[in-house]
Structure formats: structure tokens, C-alpha cells
Amino acid sequence: MTAIAASLPSRAHRAWWAATHHLLPPVLYFLISFNLISLTTRLLNYDHDWLDVTSIVIASTTALVVAKVVLLVDRVRIIDKFRGAPLIQPILYKSLFYSLVLLVVRFVERWIDYSIDAGGPGAGFEVLLARMDWHRFIAVHLWILFCFLVYVAATELGALTGEGQLLRLFFRHRSRQHRLTRRQHVRALMELSRLAENTPRERLLDPASVEGHRLIALMDALRKQPATSSSPPQRSWQRSWGGVGVLRRRRGQGS
């Protein structure tokens, strides 16, 4: 009993950190996006009060609602319906799914507000249909859909490359510490994936085979430069991107 009681704080901390880790990226993304949209709209309308505190509060509150919707929808199994499909399918599906759920949430939220003022759901619905600014409602939701497309594309690419890899490439990867530039690094990883997918295991692990030799070259190129080395990246590797064509030609000659 004592061990269980002692583990409760650590479990609570892990649960809190997992929820925060999942909620923080969409909150920051939509917070910046919605406030930027609100600011540019006021600037285009030649609004002298471009730093409107009320608009900032509304945009920030909307960002929190959207992030909460994302957190809740991600717990539904149907959201991963196109897992393993080409990236365009899960990106479009998730963006439309998120947008549809948020559309319902926004509509119900307005309905509740009008129902409280009108004294009942029926009267509130009639007032909603009469007073709703549908042009603005649809325009805002189109922007939300676009923001979802960008967000889902980034999250899908992040899941594809591995947790934290996009962050490392954008903010921590320094090309001078590696034998390859960022572009060559990504191409090498893609070629490594193709080799593993299309080559039998025995031939891939055979250093004497063309595929095995290529695997060794890729693994050596992906390693970091030695800490004491100040030599520039190997030019032989930079010229070796034609290895894919050579590999295919040799396969064709062998067949």
C-alpha cells in the first residue's frame, strides 16, 4: 500500500507531462496563427487600434479551444484510419475531421450563448439563424481549415521522421558537425530506407555485394565528424549520389 501511495505522485507527474507535451504544440501554433490572422485583418481594414486587447483575448481563447479539440479527437481511434497510407490521405482526412468537429463546437457554443439570452434552446436557435454573421463564420473556419492543414502536415512529417527529429533539423542540426549537409542527410536516410525495403537481408549484410557496399558508405556518411577534425566534408561522398543509378544499372545487367 505504501509503494502504491508513493508511486501516485510520479504517475500524476507523468500523466501531467504527457498531456502538456501533447497540448503545448497545438496551443502555441494556433495561438500565433490566430493572433496573426486577427492582426493582419485589422491592418488591412486600416484599423488604427491594431493592438486590440479584446481581439487578442478572443484569438487566444479560440486557440485554447482548438488545442483542446485536437487533444480530445486524438483519443478517438477513427482519427488514425489512414495510418500507413500515403501522407496526403491522413493529412487531408485529419484536417477535415478536426475542422468538422471544431465547426460543431463553434456552432453549439454560439447556440448556447443565444439560448441563455433568449430563454430557451428553441428561441435561441431562431435568434442564432437570424443574427449569425454567416460570411464571417465561414471565413474564419476556412482559415482554421488552412491552419489545420499546415499543422497536420507538420505533425505527420514529425511522426514520419521520428520524435524530435524535425526540431533537431530546424534548431540544433549543424552541417559542419556532419559529413553531409541537411539535404544530403535527408537523401541518405531515404536511400537507406529504400535499400532496406527492396534488398534481401543476406545481400544487404554482405560487404562484397553492391548493396552491402552502398550500405556501408551510407552508414559511414551519416556519422558525425570527429570532434577534433577540422577537415571539410568528403568530396567523394558528395559525388556519390549517382550511386543509385549505378546500383540500378548493375541490377539490370545482373538480371
Domain ranges within the chain, ordered by starting residue: 23-169, 178-247
Q: What is the pLDDT of residue 50?
A: 65
Q: What is the pLDDT of residue 175?
A: 59
At residue 164, what are phi and psi to the nearest 5 degrees?
A: 85, -5
Q: What is the pLDDT of residue 159?
A: 80
pTM above 0.75, yes or no: no
Q: What is the pLDDT of residue 180?
A: 67
Q: What is the pLDDT of residue 235?
A: 44
Q: Would you give the distance in Å from CA 120 to the centre of its chain? A: 41
Q: What is the pLDDT of residue 217?
A: 85
Q: Each residue's pLDDT tens digit in the chain (255 positions)?
A: 455 555 667 777 777 777 677 778 888 888 888 888 888 877 777 666 667 777 788 888 888 888 888 888 888 888 888 877 888 998 999 999 988 888 888 888 888 888 888 778 888 888 888 888 888 888 888 888 898 999 999 888 888 777 777 777 777 766 565 666 767 777 887 888 888 888 888 888 888 888 888 888 888 877 765 544 444 444 444 444 444 444 444 445 444
Q: What is the pLDDT of residue 11?
A: 75
Long-range contacts of 110-116 (CB under 8 A, 24+ apart): none
